[in-house]
Amino acid sequence: MSEKKSSQISGFYKLSIEERLEKLKDFAGLNEQEIAVLKKESSLELKSADKMIENVIGTMPVPLGIATNFLINGENYLIPMATEEPSVIAAASNAARIARLKGGFTAGSDESIMIGQIQVTDLKNPDDAKNAVIANKQKILALANEQDPVLNKFGGGAKDIEVRILDKFIVVHLLVDCRDAMGANAVNTMAEAAAPLIEEITGGEVILKIISNLAVKRLARSSAVFDKEALGGEEVVDRIILAYKFAAKDPYRCATNNKGIMNGISSVVLATGNDTRAIEAGAHGYAALNGYSPLAKYRKNSDGDLVGEIELPMAVGLIGGATAVHPTAKINVKILGVKTARELEEVIASVGLAQNLAALRALSAEGIQRGHMKLHAKNIAKMAGADDRILDKVVEIMVRERKVRLDRAREIVEELKK
C-alpha cells in the first residue's frame, strides 16, 4: 500500500459541505487559503450547487462574456457565452458583424423530436418481433404518454415508433416530441415504462432503455452570406473554401474544424445551463454519419461572396435540467430573449457557423495579413519620405523582405533616390 490516503470515504455524500472540505483538506493537504477559494460563494450559491449534483465542495466559475452583432432571422441578439478560452467571443462577434452586412443569419429547426432506444434481445425471430411491435404501436405510444401528462398538455409526447433490426436483436425507437425541454428525463421515463409491454409483445428481453444523443430528428440549421470585401477580398473567399475542403477530405483537420465550431456552440449551451456533452455527442455523431465531415459547408455565390451553411442536432431546452435552476443560466436566457427551445437551437447553430467562419478566415489569412502588411508598409514608406514615383517600389521591397520597418524604409528610399 502506498503512503497515500485511501479515497474510499464511506458516507461522503451525507456530510455537510464544511465536513467534506475537512476531509479534502486532510486528503490533499490543502491549506486554509485553498479551502477559502473553494468555499467562496459565486452567483451559484453552495447550497444550490449542493442540490444540483452529488458530493459538492465548491463551484467552478468560468468567464461569461457577450458576443455582439448577431442578427438572426431579422432579430437582434446579444449572446451569452461561458468559456475559459480567449478569442472565442471576439471571433464570433466579428463574424456576426460580417454576416450582418448581407442580412445576418437565416436559421431554422425541426420539431423537438428525440429518440428513446429500447433494445430487445433473446428473440426467436427479429422480423416477427419487429412486425409485432409495429402492430401494437398505438398501445405502446399510449402507455408512454401516460407517463408525462404535462408534456402532453404542451402538445408534446410520444408520437411514433420505428424498429431497427441489429444483428440478432431489435431496437425500438420511441419518437418523442419534447417541446421546450431537452427531454432526456422525459424520454428515459417513457422508454422504461414501455419496456415491459414491449417484452410482452415480442417475447424477448429488454436490456437498454435510454435516449439517443444522435438527435437526427431535431436538427438546427443556419446559413449566412459573408461579404467578400469585408472578408478581405475574393482571394480570401477562395482560401476559406480551400480550408473547408481540407476538413472535408481529412479527419485530422476535420476534428479540429468541428472543435472550433463547438467553441461557440458549447459556450452558449453551457451559459444557458444545457448539457454540453449531449450536444457534443450529437454533433460528432452526426458529423460521422456518412464518414466524418465538417458540420458547416461553404461555397461561393455568383457575386463572389462566401455562403456558409451549418446543420447539426441541437437538443437544448428552456425547461428542466439546470436551465431553470442555475441563477446565471436563467439570466442568460433572459439576455438572449428566446421564447422557445427551437429559437434557442437556431441561435446556437448560428453561433456555431459564425465561430467556424471566424476560425477559417483567421487560419487562411495569409492573404489578409499580406493586405494588412501592404497598408502598413505604405504608411511606413510615406513616413520615410517616399514620393509617388517610388512609393510602390518601396512597399514591394519591404513586403518581399518581410521587413516593414522605418529604418529599412529610409535605407530603401535613399538607395532608390540615388
Q: Give the active site residues.
A: 85, 259, 275, 372
Is the CB of 150 or the CB of 383 nearer to ligand NAD?
150
Is the CB of 178 or the CB of 265 nearer to ligand NAD?
178
Q: In the complex, what is the shortest distance from the CB of residue 168 to ligand NAD, in angstroms, rounded to a whole number? A: 25
Using the rule CB under 6 A, is 316 a contact of ligand NAD? no
Taking CB under 6 A as the criterion, the residue among 150, 289, 383, 406 binding ligand NAD is: 150
CA-angle at 417, arms to 413 and 418, nearest 5°: 120
Q: Which stretch binds ligand NAD (CB under 6 A): 67-75, 127-135, 150-158, 229-237?
A: 150-158
Using the rule CB under 6 A, is 344 a contact of ligand NAD? no
Is the CB of 319 or the CB of 335 nearer to ligand NAD?
319
Taking CB under 6 A as the criterion, the residue among 96, 241, 275, 297 binding ligand NAD is: 275
Using the rule CB under 6 A, is 282 a contact of ligand NAD? no
Residues 6+ apart with CB under 8 A from 135: none
Q: What's phi and psi for 108, nearest 5 deg?
A: -150, 170
The identity of residue 401, as a single letter, is: E
Is the CB of 104 or the CB of 320 nearer to ligand NAD?
320
Using the rule CB under 6 A, is 126 a contact of ligand NAD? no
Binding mask 161-190 for ligand NAD (x = CB under 6 A): -----------------xxxxxxxxx-x--
Q: In the complex, what is the shortest distance from the CB of residue 140 to ligand NAD, in angstroms, rounded to a whole number? A: 18
| Crossing angle of the two packed helices 184-202 and 137-146, in degrees rounded to 10 | 140
Q: In the complex, what is the shortest distance from the CB of residue 344 to ligand NAD, in angstroms, rounded to a whole number? A: 12
Cβ-in-10-Å burial (0-12, 13-18, 19+) of 216 comes to middle
Q: In the complex, what is the shortest distance from the CB of residue 409 to ligand NAD, in angstroms, rounded to a whole number? A: 59
Q: In the complex, what is the shortest distance from the CB of residue 117 to ligand NAD, in angstroms, rounded to a whole number? A: 10
Using the rule CB under 6 A, is 345 a contact of ligand NAD? no
**Dihedral, 410, 413, 414, 418 alpha carbons, nearest 10:** 180
Residues 206-245 that bind ligand NAD (CB under 6 A): 211, 213
Taking CB under 6 A as the criterion, the residue among 278, 287, 296, 381 binding ligand NAD is: 278
Q: How many residues does the chain have?
A: 418
146: cell is 401516460
Is the CB of 187 or the CB of 287 nearer to ligand NAD?
187
Q: In the complex, what is the shortest distance from the CB of residue 156 to ligand NAD, in angstroms, rounded to a whole number? A: 5
Helix (H, G, I), strand (E, B) or coil at 72: strand
Using the rule CB under 6 A, is 261 a contact of ligand NAD? no
Using the rule CB under 6 A, is 276 a contact of ligand NAD? no
Contact criterion met (CB below 8 Å) for 310 and 223:
yes
CA dist list (Å): 118 to 158, 166, 173, 282, 402: 14, 12, 6, 18, 63
Q: How many Å apart are CA 144 and CA 148, to the nearest integer?
A: 8
Q: Which stretch binds ligand NAD (CB under 6 A): 54-62, 128-136, 287-295, 317-325?
A: 317-325
Number of residue whose CB is nearest ligand NAD: 320
Contact criterion met (CB below 8 Å) for 87 and 109:
no
Q: How many Å apart are CA 267 and CA 276, to the nearest integer?
A: 8
Q: In the complex, what is the shortest distance from the CB of residue 167 to ligand NAD, in angstroms, rounded to a whole number? A: 23
Is the CB of 123 or the CB of 219 nearer to ligand NAD?
219
First-residue to last-residue Cα distance in the chain: 83
Using the rule CB under 6 A, is 320 a contact of ligand NAD? yes
Q: In the complex, what is the shortest distance from the CB of residue 172 to ligand NAD, in angstroms, rounded to a whole number? A: 17
In DSSP terms, 113 is beta-bridged to 177
Q: How many Å apart are CA 186 and CA 175, to the nearest integer?
A: 12
Q: How many Å apart are CA 55 and CA 338, to the nearest integer?
A: 33
Number of residues interacting with ligand NAD: please give it, by CB under 6 A. 23
Using the rule CB under 6 A, is 329 a contact of ligand NAD? no
CA dist list (Å): 22 to 10, 26, 69: 14, 6, 47
CA dist list (Å): 345 to 272, 277, 278: 11, 15, 13
Taking CB under 6 A as the criterion, the residue among 156, 204, 264, 313 binding ligand NAD is: 156
Q: Which residues bind ligand NAD (CB under 6 A)?
A: 148, 150-151, 154, 156, 178-186, 188, 211, 213, 275, 278, 317, 319-321
